[in-house]
Amino acid sequence: MTKSAAIIGGGIGGLATANYLVQHGWIVDVFERSAALPDTGTALGMWPEALVALDAIGVGDRVRSIGSQQKHGLFRRADGSTLAKIDIRDTAVLISRPRLLESLASTLPDGIVKFSTTIDNVADLGGYDVIVGADGVNSRVRTAVVGHQVDPEFLGFSALIGRAHGTTDTVAETWDEEKIFGISPRDGGVTNWFAAYRQPADGRMPADPMAFLRSNFGHWHSDVTELLDRIDTNSFIHYNVKQMPKLDSYVRGNIALIGDSAHAMAPNLGRGACETLIDAATLGQALVSHDVDEALRRYDRKRRKHTQRLLTGARLMSKAAMSTRFNGPRDAAIRVVSKFA
């Protein structure tokens, strides 16, 4: 008998899971509250494990052809001096969130993604064999799995992200006390950038983002100041950085959580989107190989402990990055970690 899945959320995890299941003969409906796929978003690093997942999902070659291949990264201080250089053992690929979503959506049959559709209660989806919560950091499905509301924790800093005119071949982060500025290539002939900084929990987009950036980063080294002059002022996105506490399980009954709904993490390890894709491939492989109960047990067993170790690492890295003290030990730790990339 053909099995069916309801996927709540049409982001990276939802579309990736849908692809895998559709390829294996499942009936799939993806419910997405937005009216369309987003046309804005930052560049995402696809590490080798994520590329393997994308191959299993069926879009690996497309992502490689669109994205920018990278084998090196650089950590710098605000004065431009080198803190650490990373030589990546296996090539990573940078691709913007909109192009990744476009790639995942392009291989799905028409009508599978139901845009402008909100699911308020998973109990309304009783006709499906499995329900996948891929609805992000503020997941509603998570409550059905955990049994009560679990909110992500604000980590004490916010980020502005956007794009700049012109290209770069550099992947670099510059660190100073309580501030980070990142620069990386991006598809479409533009440069991706982000600025992270301490901010209260209720922080909002600065009233004048360019004035804010120049005030806080305009005295840094030339790569940063030159990029500030090229920023596309129509591309600003602001968000408060949050992380999920560790859940006791990612599954309950016939419901599974994937991606940020299960393990939203600080961006400092660059692993969030990668782990979401691995979740999708792992869940998909389990569902097509086993009955639903056994599949969800296997998925939870394979993914929960691993992603929760990353939660710990991401939290520690975010604290180090935003530290106002112990910069010497922090810098030494970065140099050690860079040798194992």
pLDDT one digit per residue (tens) for the chain, 341 residues: 899 999 999 999 999 999 999 999 999 999 999 999 998 888 999 999 999 999 999 999 999 999 988 878 899 999 999 988 887 766 789 999 999 999 999 999 999 999 999 998 999 998 999 999 999 999 999 999 999 999 999 999 999 999 999 999 889 999 998 899 999 999 888 999 999 999 887 789 999 999 999 999 999 999 999 999 999 999 999 999 999 999 999 999 999 999 999 999 999 888 999 999 999 999 999 999 999 999 999 999 999 999 999 999 988 888 877 776 656 656 655 655 555 44
Handedness of CA 7, 10, 13, 19 (dihedral sign): positive
Q: Any idea what the Cα angle at residue 42 is, between residues 310 and 46, rounded to 5°? A: 50
Among 29, 30, 20, 25, which residue's Cα sits nearest to residue 2?
Answer: 25
Q: Is 59 left (phi over 0), alpha (psi -120 to 50) or beta?
A: alpha
- Give first-to-last CA distance, the chain, whole Å: 45
| Residue 325 neighbours by CB under 8 Å, 6+ apart | none
The confidence score (pLDDT) of residue 340 equals: 40
The confidence score (pLDDT) of residue 326 equals: 52
CA distance 247 to 133: 14
CA distance 118 to 32: 7
Q: By three-state DSSP, how is residue 253 classified?
A: coil
* Inter-helix orientation angle 97-106/12-23, to 10°: 20
The confidence score (pLDDT) of residue 335 equals: 59
281: tokens are 């491939």
Calculated CA dihedral for residues 318, 244, 254, 304, nearest 10 degrees: 40
Task: Indicate the pTM of the whole model.
Answer: 0.92
Question: Quick one: DSSP state of residue 126?
Answer: T
**205, 119 Cβ separation under 8 angstroms:** no
**40, 63 Cβ separation under 8 angstroms:** no
Alpha helices per DSSP H over the chain: 12-23, 48-57, 60-66, 97-106, 141-146, 209-217, 222-228, 260-263, 272-289, 292-321, 327-338
Q: Is 80 left (phi over 0), alpha (psi -120 to 50) or beta?
A: left
Domains and CATH numbers, the chain: 4-153+242-338 (3.50.50.60)
Q: Tabulate helix, strand, coil % of the chain (nearest 5).
A: 40, 25, 35
The confidence score (pLDDT) of residue 316 equals: 86
CA distance 197 to 160: 9
The confidence score (pLDDT) of residue 269 equals: 84
| Residue 119 neighbours by CB under 8 Å, 6+ apart | 6, 8, 31, 125, 140
